[in-house]
Structure 1
Amino acid sequence: MGAGAGCKGETEDEGGDEAASEESGTEDTETDTGEESDTGEPPETGPCFDGLERWEWDASADHIGYDLPATDFTVETLRGPKTFSEIWNGCDNHVFVMYSANWWSTPIEPLIDDAAENTHFWFVVPSDSADFDNDMRAALVGQIAQRVEGHLESLGPEVQAAKTDTFHYVIDSGLDIPAVQGILATNPNEEHFTIGRHQKIWEGHNVAVAASGSWIPLLEQTRWWSRYINYWYGLEAELAEEAESPDVLVHRVADAVEIKGGEPYTWTLPDAATMAEYDRLEVDMFIDCPGVGHPYVATCGEWDTVGSIFLCEDAECEGDRRRVIKWITPYSAPGRWVIDITPELLELAAGGELTFISAHGDNNVGQYTYRYTVDFRFSKAEDGLRPIGKAELIPRGGYGWNENYHANWPEGFSFTAPEGTQRTELYARISGHGAVEGSQCAEFCSFTHEFSVNGTPFAHQYVQENVDRCAMLTDEGVTPNQGGTWFYDRSSWCPGWVIEEWREDLSSAVEVGAENSVAYDSWWGINNPTPPPGGNMDARVEVVFYGE
């Protein structure tokens, strides 16, 4: 895979070329005729491999820093001189990996096997001291090259041909690359960063994992940002396309506004009449680090906490509060998520200026501050149904998940679906926290919650999967390369992501206009379910009624 890695329009139809040669009676040659490929487009045009538009190189870039477009450079590599703008194709992400002896010797195979297909890796030694002259730098990157090329060869000729040219081994000092020099000048501890497919420089942050009681930096940890950047721009394209529909209203309530947890603020929504025209509501949230924003470890909240946005009943937020948005903050990093909060249309129906308060912090340092950019995205449901009422089963709260857990609701629950209800939905926001000895519940164990409506069971199993599942979900929105144990799977959530909401259609078991009984049970384990062993459930469970 060369400069056109992973993008359409970069190869010709071999069968068509052979047929043309046979028909003309001439042999194929390597002469470049300058003609267009048989796709009808010149090479390096058209959409990228994933259907997204190519991003044109911005030659006007002249400042260096995170979130800014990268400038051009030319460096000597083991394969000769390379100019970045000539390799650029507007589809690929370029990861720059800085030399350090304690991690360049770590396994390279996962990085090669599992990186997004549009990823380039640049191995650089950012030093021009006498101890790191050209010969020394060539030797260091040569060792990496030998390991990379050896593994590529073991994967077969097709993979080797596709990926060889996506690895770059820089002989010149990494400081000759403006982005490397500039980033290290402001963040000397940066070990990798990415120039994304839109030319923007993304902070790399953490590459260490916990092993044997210590933190070990690993080369394989540099593969996550490319996945996430693909997710980000895929999401941008999807949201932009949706916004073109006359049935969608995008309403921004916060634009890079710093909000500290525990302090009330106001957002202005559309008026009640406008909101009543729509059936669905999603929130597009970008929660960024405050102040200068970088490096993340110095600006963002340190811990993964339950992030919440509450709607207040009064301007001082001293009365009742309703949590309308719930997520998990990243370890020392920003995050972006789109969250469906359609049932909250009932609480937000008044529209106009409303008071909210956020919660995101820990007991040691208090509430964190984040820089919010938030869009409320209103749309019309295909079935034309919208929330018309709700019934509370489990009030929002933190409940000890132990032998006394179900004693909170000894008689179960009941609700009456109002006339006009055409669909009844379970709306459960349940997340397990804490890790008790033995089971590691309720954060690191599989567990099940079951609600039986008029005797019909509806169950959801929150599964503890492979150890790195949260890292594998970076291409679905988990913030990559956070601090801490961000990559470890949690059964019902990940740091820097939304919680696993449970929404289920109960209509088949519900009698409209009559009282419906609900029994509740929960347990942990898969093959041998046992009662709750400990930990905590942060939960709210409601039944939502939909009609016209």
Structure 2
Amino acid sequence: MNFCPQKDKPMRKSILNAILLLGLASLPVGCAGCGEDVPGPDPEPASPPEPEADTYCQDQGFTSHAFNTDTGGALFGDLAEDFTVNEYSGDTFTLSEAWTGCDSYIFFSYFSYMDANARNQMDTLWASDFAGILQSGTRNVHYFYISEEMDASAREGRMYMMQTNFDTALQTLFGEDTDEIDFWTSRFHFVTDQLTAVEGGVGDFAIDYLVYRNNADPVDLGDRGQAYPPPPTSFAIDRNQRWDPVGSLSEYVGGPENLKMAAFNSAFYNHRAELKAHLAAQTDITVVELVDEMVTARVFNKDVTLPDADAMATMDTFEIDVEITCPHRNPFGCSEWDRIARMSLCTEYDAADIDTCTASTEIVRWITPYWRRGTRHWVMDASPFLALIKDGGVQRFRIEMGPAWERATERHATMSVRLSNQDKGLISQSVLRAFGGGTFNADYNSTHVPFTFTPPSDATRVEIVTIISGHGQTSGNNCAEWCNHMHFFTVNGSDTPHEVSYSDIGNDVGCAARADEGAMPGQWGNWPQSRAGWCPGLPVETVRFDITGEITLGSENTLTYEASFNGNTPAGGDISKNTYVVWYQ
């Protein structure tokens, strides 16, 4: 195929001429057939038939997003403009024409490095098993294999090989199931165009990023050296038609890259799109903004004014909406560690000093991701803690996104309180803290004495509410991040304690498989594997046990707690835990 720069983009040739990647051949600047007369399009048929309603998104249970024809950009999070690519099969793909409103689009870029090791790594990456990609991703996704090789015959040869391997893989996976074969054939695109020569959004995005990368200063990581931005080996257009970096393709730190790791993003894009649509569709919600600004501080307080006590008395649902974006094009400009993040309600503080919060109650927790550009977004249920804000008015929240001493990194934080009545018939009336955590050693259980409480006689429900995550990597057992520590809560001496445990420890993709819950793929760290009660880039579950049938209302009751390591003595690390008794009316 011959490609000509558009008349209104005279700078493309000079830009392409200027780009040099590390060990890469320079990009092409010429094109065949430019300036020749091109026949006009065939006339459209008169009165085309009315198309049938497309139920593709609805059939999968997804909302849809209309194609946006506004002017886009080339930064992560910017609107992706339309593009057309030519495929080895002879087909063409145009984004606007194929747009369903609920698909995502993931690109795999091939670069022909001069360095033998880099070239071998690229070849190994592109040899990633197709079965792994299919198993790791969702159905509502397209994959594009596209090369930056200058030579057209080299690109066509590469795409012939990829197409042949793909067809063989489909036969192996699906045999005579022609419906599945046809479906996936329509979803994998082996592109013969050169990456930076694609007219439209994809080519413009690639050129802009490569120019940036060629001129970018590294991020100074102190004694760990300097980190330059990575090549665009993979990138994506999400369901909201926005550019996303996809991120690292490593299965673990220091391990091989595999294209299947990019596929997990398709579930993550579903999470983001459906959450956004869900929030937009909600009615009768009171939203109180906590923060909407660029922040570098990891720990800070925010005062907000909630509805008055009468209005609060009608609310049965209390949610915390957290959306955080690392805007840097170099992922190493983002926060680098999987730290505990939380939001707490300050119960004692000096109203005249915004920095004070002398006593607080944790209401939600999440874990920050390793280095990852882009946006993560979750809504966490804090309804058990409504009792703490039932008076309404001015309330102070403490926000922690890691330790205050860690390297400052700039990010955009949008957080809000969402209050509503969902007709649950239960509203939290009292929150009592029963237990904390601590060092997970032989003395751990002796530091947790029984807790007594007396719920009122007119309470309609009583719960144990607990937030637990294990941290630290003790030699020999990797406790308490990578070990199965077990937690037992017993009410009034019952023979059946309520248990929290973690049997999925070490699952290689246990956290990656939770991308549909909002676990952020592509982190530059050991993000895919299961931990003890948490995943990097995901909220920590607030576990709730209904103990109404085990207690005596209006009388004193006793709650005991103990923990073990696989049924034995606690064996190292730290348990970050807050456990509460909550009753409702």
Distance change >3 Å, CA 541–CA 194, structure 1 → 2: same
Provide the rounded CA distance (Å) in 2 between the counterparts of 1:367 and 1:271: 37
Residue identity in the other structure for 1:175: T
> What are the ranges of 5 or more consecutive residues in structure 1 without an aligned counterpart?
1-32
Hey, what does 1:276 align to over in structure 2? 313
Within 5 Å, which residues of 2 pair with 1:327-476?
327-333=366-372, 334-362=375-403, 365-366=406-407, 369-395=410-436, 398-409=437-448, 411-456=449-494, 457-465=496-504, 466-476=507-517
Equivalent of 1:60, from 63, 67, 70?
70
Q: How far apart are residue 88 of structure 1 and its match?
A: 2.3
Hey, what does 2:116 align to over in structure 1? none
Provide the rounded CA distance (Å) in 1 between the counterparts of 2:405 and 2:526: 19
TM-score under structure 1 length normalisation: 0.84
Residue identity in the other structure for 1:110: G
Equivalent of 2:362, from 307, 323, 328?
323
8 A Cα contact 2:435 2:580, kept in partner: yes
Hey, what does 2:329 align to over in structure 1? 295
Residue identity in the other structure for 1:231: H
- Tell me the alpha carbon deviations over residues 170-200 of structure 1, each in whole angstroms, 9 at most, x when there is no partner: 1111012223333433456222111122221
Within 5 Å, which residues of 2 pair with 1:480-491?
480-491=521-532
Provide the rounded CA distance (Å) in 1 between the counterparts of 2:554 and 2:231: 64
8 A Cα contact 2:357 2:398, kept in partner: no
Hey, what does 1:8 align to over in structure 2? none
Provide the rounded CA distance (Å) in 1 between the counterparts of 2:336 and 2:455: 44
Equivalent of 2:184, from 150, 153, 163?
163
- Tell me the alpha carbon deviations over residues 464-503 of structure 1, each in whole angstroms, 9 at most, x when there is no partner: 3222110000011111111200101012010011113221
Provide the rounded CA distance (Å) in 2 between the counterparts of 1:509 and 1:257: 48
8 A Cα contact 1:444 1:464, kept in partner: no
Structure 1 window deviating more from structure 2 (450-459 vs 374-383): it is 374-383
Provide the rounded CA distance (Å) in 1 between the counterparts of 2:306 and 2:296: 18
Q: Secondary structure at the match of 1:264?
A: strand
Provide the rounded CA distance (Å) in 2 between the counterparts of 1:93 and 1:52: 12
Structure 1 window deviating more from structure 2 (516-525 vs 186-195): it is 186-195
Within 5 Å, which residues of 2 pair with 1:230-249?
230-241=270-281, 243-244=282-283, 246=284, 248-249=285-286
Q: How many residues align?
A: 493
Distance change >3 Å, CA 371–CA 123, structure 1 → 2: same
Q: Secondary structure at the match of 2:581?
A: strand
Q: Secondary structure at the match of 1:282?
A: strand
Q: Secondary structure at the match of 1:197?
A: coil
- Tell me the alpha carbon deviations over residues 230-276 of structure 1, each in whole angstroms, 9 at most, x when there is no partner: 111122223333x22x4x33333333452612333333333333222
Q: Secondary structure at the match of 1:541?
A: strand
Hey, what does 2:22 align to over in structure 1? none
Q: Secondary structure at the match of 1:388?
A: strand
Does residue 218 (structure 1) correspond to residue 258 (structure 2)? The answer is yes
8 A Cα contact 2:344 2:363, kept in partner: yes
Hey, what does 1:173 align to over in structure 2? 194
Provide the rounded CA distance (Å) in 2 between the counterparts of 1:337 and 1:296: 24
Q: How far apart are residue 425 of structure 1 and its match?
A: 0.4
8 A Cα contact 1:464 1:489, kept in partner: no
Provide the rounded CA distance (Å) in 2 between the counterparts of 1:350 and 1:363: 31
Residue identity in the other structure for 2:529: Y
8 A Cα contact 1:71 1:179, kept in partner: no
Q: How far apart are residue 223 of structure 1 and its match?
A: 0.1
Distance change >3 Å, CA 500–CA 460, structure 1 → 2: farther
Provide the rounded CA distance (Å) in 2 between the counterparts of 1:519 and 1:91: 49
8 A Cα contact 2:155 2:192, kept in partner: yes
Residue identity in the other structure for 1:135: S
8 A Cα contact 1:261 1:369, kept in partner: no
Provide the rounded CA distance (Å) in 2 between the counterparts of 1:438 and 1:52: 46
Hey, what does 2:133 align to over in structure 1? 111
Provide the rounded CA distance (Å) in 1 between the counterparts of 2:339 and 2:363: 16
8 A Cα contact 2:261 2:521, kept in partner: no
Give % identity.
28
Provide the rounded CA distance (Å) in 1 between the counterparts of 2:581 and 2:208: 54
Provide the rounded CA distance (Å) in 1 between the counterparts of 2:145 and 2:438: 49
- Tell me the alpha carbon deviations over residues 302-341 of structure 1, each in whole angstroms, 9 at most, x when there is no partner: 0000002233322331522332331111112342111111
Q: How far apart are residue 431 of structure 1 and its match?
A: 0.9
Provide the rounded CA distance (Å) in 2 between the counterparts of 1:431 and 1:537: 6
TM-score under structure 2 length normalisation: 0.79
Provide the rounded CA distance (Å) in 2 between the counterparts of 1:320 and 1:493: 25
Q: How far apart are residue 401 of structure 1 and its match?
A: 1.0
Distance change >3 Å, CA 82–CA 381, structure 1 → 2: closer
Provide the rounded CA distance (Å) in 1 between the counterparts of 2:160 and 2:59: 31
8 A Cα contact 2:387 2:429, kept in partner: yes
Hey, what does 1:124 align to over in structure 2? 146
Distance change >3 Å, CA 263–CA 378, structure 1 → 2: closer
Q: Secondary structure at the match of 1:170?
A: strand
Distance change >3 Å, CA 133–CA 480, structure 1 → 2: same
Residue identity in the other structure for 1:301: S
Residue identity in the other structure for 2:581: V
Within 5 Å, which residues of 2 pair with 1:17-96?
42=52, 44=54, 47-80=57-90, 81-96=92-107
Q: Detail structure 1 runs of 4+ shifted over 6 Å in the superposition.
A: none
Does residue 138 (structure 1) correspond to residue 124 (structure 2)? The answer is no
Provide the rounded CA distance (Å) in 1 between the counterparts of 2:390 and 2:53: 52
Provide the rounded CA distance (Å) in 1 between the counterparts of 2:360 and 2:408: 17
Provide the rounded CA distance (Å) in 2 between the counterparts of 1:468 and 1:533: 25
8 A Cα contact 2:290 2:302, kept in partner: no
Hey, what does 1:30 align to over in structure 2? none
> What are the ranges of 5 or more consecutive residues in structure 2 without an aligned counterpart?
1-46, 111-121, 198-202, 214-229
Provide the rounded CA distance (Å) in 2 between the counterparts of 1:252 and 1:370: 17
CA RMSD of aligned residues (A): 2.4
Provide the rounded CA distance (Å) in 1 between the counterparts of 2:403 and 2:442: 27
Equivalent of 2:575, from 534, 537, 542?
537
Distance change >3 Å, CA 267–CA 296, structure 1 → 2: farther
Q: Secondary structure at the match of 1:209?
A: coil
Q: Secondary structure at the match of 2:344?
A: strand
Q: How far apart are residue 164 of structure 1 and its match?
A: 0.5
Provide the rounded CA distance (Å) in 2 between the counterparts of 1:45 and 1:452: 50
Distance change >3 Å, CA 360–CA 53, structure 1 → 2: closer
Q: Secondary structure at the match of 1:139?
A: helix
Q: Secondary structure at the match of 1:113?
A: helix
Q: How far apart are residue 60 of structure 1 and its match?
A: 3.1
Hey, what does 1:9 align to over in structure 2? none
Does residue 191 (structure 1) correspond to residue 201 (structure 2)? The answer is no
Hey, what does 1:16 align to over in structure 2? none
Provide the rounded CA distance (Å) in 1 between the counterparts of 2:320 and 2:165: 45
Q: How far apart are residue 459 of structure 1 and its match?
A: 1.9
Q: How far apart are residue 546 of structure 1 and its match?
A: 0.7
Provide the rounded CA distance (Å) in 2 between the counterparts of 1:305 and 1:464: 22
Provide the rounded CA distance (Å) in 2 between the counterparts of 1:262 and 1:255: 15
Q: How far apart are residue 365 of structure 1 and its match?
A: 2.9
Q: Secondary structure at the match of 2:453?
A: strand
Provide the rounded CA distance (Å) in 1 between the counterparts of 2:417 and 2:403: 27
Q: How far apart are residue 407 of structure 1 and its match?
A: 1.2
